[in-house]
Structure 1
Amino acid sequence: MEVFNLFIYSAIILIVFYLFYSARLKKKRAQKKIYLEKQWGKQKATDYYNFDAIAKYFLRRKSKDEAFHTLSSREIEDLDLHEVFKYINRTRSKIGEQYLYNRLLNIPTKEDRAAFILDQEFFANQEECIEIQSVLERLSHPKIYQLEELINGEQIKKPKYYPIIVLSTLTVLASLILAPKFPILLFLLIPSYLVNLFFHYSNKSNLNIYMGAFGQLFSVYKIAKKLQSFSSVQQLQKDLQFLKTLRNLKLKSRFLDDGQLMNNEFGIAFWVILEQFKILFNYETLIFINLLDDLNKKHKDLDDLFNFIGSIDLHISLQSLKAGEPKTCIPEFHASKAIQTKHVYHPLLETPITNNLSLQAKSLLLTGSNMSGKTTFIRTIALNLVLGQTLNLCFAESFNAPYARLYTAIRISDDILSKTSYFKEEVNQLDHFIKMSRSSSPAIFVLDEIFKGTNTKERIASAYGVLKYINTPKHIVLVSTHDTELTELLANQNYDLYYFSENINQNQLTFDYKIKKGQLENGNAIKILELNNFPSEIIQDAHHQLTEQ
């Protein structure tokens, strides 16, 4: 009777504990949902982004060569794409972050983009999107970044000494089974243990490569199964065969994850005992080798799992982004040499000024005063071209442009480590432009202050030659410059002239940051010196030298 009562009391305690835990978990998730509702349409409240981890999937994925065009580190720096990523990112999982980063830097083929546009239509229900975000939030731990290791990591092959491992394990089993009848066989356990000890710790280095990733597979798989219940997800992807294929892989990976045991003294004691068991029977080594076989066969299924979660997170992220922006549009792309934008703006500006641009069968030569906004404008057009092609979203009222590859030369600097001067760096980049301009595939070249690393006469002559050469009937050039002499040289070379200017009222220099059609007549450099109280002798000499030219 006492044993029965003890059993009853224990059951009651377990039930109470379970109910308490369930109520606490339910309350926590309800609070998370309220938080996500408040965050809808807002930038994520985080200051730290681990771009080394975020970029790994992009840098290592084998399928990136299938993209129409992959942006280089030059475009990433010139267009501040890491800062742009921070701004547009509304994903809730670490997989979503990696997926968004990869999508942002890989301009897809037209077929891939068409499929992406169709998928966006399934996530119009804001309430369900927030419900899905609350599920995706469970994959926000930094360890989730490691899952991509199973997809893109270096494949480890089954060791050549695998038969010896099997034989050694069978020897141990046979010794234990036959020991009651032949006790002398127990002596075989000592050499077998030592041999297995070697195999066990030889395998640890390989296991450590994948341990973090295997440890996350179980959690990611559970979330993928949970996402199946949402109607928008069911419309997005009806074929989830990869979940069935990965079931065994997920279960096996669970047997290798004993990291939780190291969190307390009792766990450590149990871990020590478990470790001896693993050594004696080669339990960990055999499961790991078996997992490697499965892993090598199921790379595509793992990639499908990653893309399944990443695409859902990305589509909902874009819905949240659009909800919080004053003006976004779906771009239109064509095959002709033309750009038409209406009220286009840069998302990173605190108080952005919108502008319009119209180029028909021509390129853009943009002049302007110092600090007037010309460099920001060409960045704005280039950035929206990238976002339009990769995410089907532009920060504008309308955006119409060719579907084109993008090459930039904006933030060029000298390289001290490789002993390369600024001018040599610029020459290298322009040489790349020239090679790309020979392609029949449309391209857009974006340049800021071309050849500013050399003297005026040679700068203008060299710039004229390069800008004329790369401005083919297939390509568009967007170039900003201080050299007004280039306007006269390129006006008849299929370049439209635009400019930015300043206003001076009551000795105050102000800018409207509005682009204007035509040619800039005067600069503002001397006026800026004057407004900053430079000595009058400097100002007079500067004006005198200007009139002498």
Structure 2
Amino acid sequence: MTTSKRLPIYAQRKKDFLHQLAVKEKEIARIAVFRLLAGLAIAVCIYLSFKDQWFIIAVFGTVFVFAWLVRLHSKLFNEKVITTNLLRINELELASAKGDFSKQETGSAFTDTHHVYAYDLDIFGEGSLFQFINRAATHSGKKQLATRLKNPLTSIDNIVKHQESSKELSECIDLRQKLQAVGMNSLETAESRTQLLDWLQHKPMLPNKNIWRVLLMVIPALTIALVVAAYFSSAFKPFASLLVFSQLVLIGVYFKRTTAFHDYVSRKHTILKQYASLLRVFNLEKYNAAHLRDLSGITHEAEVKITTLASLLTALDARLNFMTNIVVNGLLLYDLQCVYRLEKWREENGEALAGWLDALAEIEVTNSLATYTYNHPHYAFPAFSEVQHIKAEALGHPLLAEDVCVSNDFRAGDPQSVLLITGANMAGKSTFLRTLGIAMVLAYNGAPVCAKSFSCSVMHLRTGMRTADSLKDQQSYFYAELNRLKSITEELRTKKPLLILLDEILKGTNSTDKQAGSMALVKQLIDQPCLALVATHDLALGVLEEKFPEQVKNYHFEPTIENDELSFDYKLKEGIAEKMNATFLMKKMGIIPS
């Protein structure tokens, strides 16, 4: 959970935004009154202009004031929305700091029961890592964060760059929350990005750009010139009428194709404006971290180009007004002007659009990890080396409250590469495996981990902890577990460095068969380029340390039974477990006689 050190900061920010919201609401109410008065003034000036033509000047003046007030009202309303979002953000951070992040998005849509570790480690869903760290507001940002959590960075240099960006952005609380607040207005859906990128692949509606450029300049210019001339001389009226009619006929010829074009991109201008607003907020700062500078190098151009595209789409949506449509199409070939400019934009910028949208999503991912960094100033940024190892001091689970989180020192790979963890039910074996797994996911994404110090090498994480059966695939639990183990062993043969976390393997078979299979699997892991942690109730596996002391190390979690009461300290200790609790608990609960 968020460190208690941040509670006063979020409480003060909540108080500040409550005050700002009250001020905005008063300003909006005041402007609304002035706007009403300006509207009445326009009506009075128009009435008086019939008696005195000099009041026409007053009409224009009051219309200008009214328009300015409308613009100001819109600006203040947008600021109110952002302030409301900022208030909401700090309320959520306060709740999270107290251990309640139930109102944060769970990321359940990204759950994959067959992923190589995400399902086992509770990366998505209720009480998940995603719910804990996500601060992305757009669908693209959430999807990119989910992708990163399932496919972390694999280069030490790249990880270190992301560490630097997490550190730098973590200190910019106003910027981070402004990004999140602007993103909260997003109307983006899962299909929005796909539709935009699909539009890039459409065949052009106006393929001969040079010809159309001339036509769209010459025909409207000539038409307007003749209409103006007809105002002064009726001799030009037939020619003006002919050209206006010809433009409407040309618009009619392309009407069906224009409508189909418009339907595909209709109302995308709102989403694009929101993208541009997010980019504008990010571009307000100058950055030192290499990753942030790389993003900034992309986003400055992206902001300009996406704003332009939003304006072009807004212009195309104006054709929905029937009267405007008739007038501007008769004089300017308006529909085709809009299509031409959009297709020209696509031709010039289409290849870059996907990269710009990726950069925007990456900003939200970085913002999420930076907020996580800010919320946990006492967490450690991992150090990395090429030597295969893990070393942790006071390693804890980040999702557990500070007052209940038990930390453990831990090391692997110096020299033992296979660690057997024995212990009773509920003693902490599975939680420890998930603690280490989540630490590795965060470490490989450039985030700090819940530890006093942490160092490791870059490995590919693989788990076998919570294998799911599948009725759809006619696959039993046991067969699904074997498939998971098979995929791990196949990867080992490629000599890819792996970190393997296994919890009570071969649960679906009898104890003798399970022991033999487990023993054989552990022996196979010994000579592979991997680090493996195997949690088990089977104490017989502990003899492997005697046979392979340079490769295998025994650890355990153990309960304490005093005065007929069972308790756990959740501390990892060297050696094999000696106490089990299943029989004790069954007697305690009256399941079997004591």
Q: TM-score range by the shorter chain?
A: 0.7 to 0.9
Please state how far the C-alpha of 1:514 moved relative to its aligned partner. 1.5
Please state how far the C-alpha of 1:53 moved relative to its aligned partner. 7.7
Report the secondary structure of 1:427's partner residue. Answer: helix
1:116-515 residue pairs with structure 2 within 5 A? 116-123=162-169, 125=171, 128-144=172-188, 149=193, 153-154=197-198, 156-159=200-203, 162-163=206-207, 177=223, 180-181=238-239, 192-204=250-262, 206-207=264-265, 212=268, 214-232=269-287, 236-237=292-293, 240=297, 243-244=300-301, 247-257=304-314, 271-273=321-323, 281-299=335-353, 302-303=356-357, 305-306=359-360, 309-310=363-364, 313-314=367-368, 316-323=370-377, 327-350=378-401, 351-359=404-412, 360-362=414-416, 363-472=418-527, 474-489=529-544, 491-493=546-548, 494-515=551-572
Question: Per the alignment, do residues 7 and 201 of structure 1 end up closer, same or farther by CA in structure 2, a change over 3 Å counting?
Answer: closer
Please state how far the C-alpha of 1:140 moved relative to its aligned partner. 1.5
Cα contact 2:298–2:356 (8 A) shared by 1: no
Report the secondary structure of 2:481's partner residue. Answer: helix
Question: Per the alignment, do residues 180 and 431 of structure 1 end up closer, same or farther by CA in structure 2, a change over 3 Å counting?
Answer: same
User: Could you give the per-residue CA deviations for residues 114-150 of structure 1, whole angstroms, max 9, x where no partner exists?
Assistant: 222333443364xx42244225411223424669827
Question: Per the alignment, do residues 106 and 406 of structure 1 end up closer, same or farther by CA in structure 2, a change over 3 Å counting?
Answer: same
**Partner amino acid for 2:430?**
T
Please state how far the C-alpha of 1:256 moved relative to its aligned partner. 1.5
**Partner amino acid for 2:415?**
A
**Partner amino acid for 2:577?**
L
In structure 1, what is the Cα distance between the partners aligned to 2:482 and 2:371? Answer: 40
Please state how far the C-alpha of 1:84 moved relative to its aligned partner. 0.5
TM-score by length of 2: 0.73
Structure 2 residue 55 is the aligned partner of structure 1 residue 2: yes
In structure 2, what is the Cα distance between the partners aligned to 1:53 and 1:170? Answer: 50
Report the counterpart of residue 84 of structure 1 in structure 2. Answer: 129
In structure 1, what is the Cα distance between the partners aligned to 2:64 and 2:217? Answer: 40
Report the counterpart of residue 577 of structure 2 in structure 1. Answer: 520
CA RMSD in angstroms comes to 4.1
User: Could you give the per-residue CA deviations for residues 234-257 of structure 1, whole angstroms, max 9, x where no partner exists?
Assistant: 984286365336634531332324
Question: Per the alignment, do residues 131 and 411 of structure 1 end up closer, same or farther by CA in structure 2, a change over 3 Å counting?
Answer: same
In structure 1, what is the Cα distance between the partners aligned to 2:207 and 2:354? Answer: 29
In structure 2, what is the Cα distance between the partners aligned to 1:429 and 1:152? Answer: 38
Cα contact 1:433–1:470 (8 A) shared by 2: no
Name structure 1 gaps, 5 residues minimum: 60-70, 262-268, 540-549
Q: How many pairs align?
A: 508
Name structure 2 gaps, 5 residues minimum: 1-53, 227-236
In structure 2, what is the Cα distance between the partners aligned to 1:471 and 1:460? Answer: 17
Question: Per the alignment, do residues 183 and 155 of structure 1 end up closer, same or farther by CA in structure 2, a change over 3 Å counting?
Answer: closer
User: Could you give the per-residue CA deviations for residues 350-391 of structure 1, whole angstroms, max 9, x where no partner exists?
Assistant: 421111223322111111111111111111111111111212
Please state how far the C-alpha of 1:104 moved relative to its aligned partner. 2.7
Please state how far the C-alpha of 1:404 moved relative to its aligned partner. 0.9
Question: Per the alignment, do residues 338 and 430 of structure 1 end up closer, same or farther by CA in structure 2, a change over 3 Å counting?
Answer: same
TM-score by length of 1: 0.78
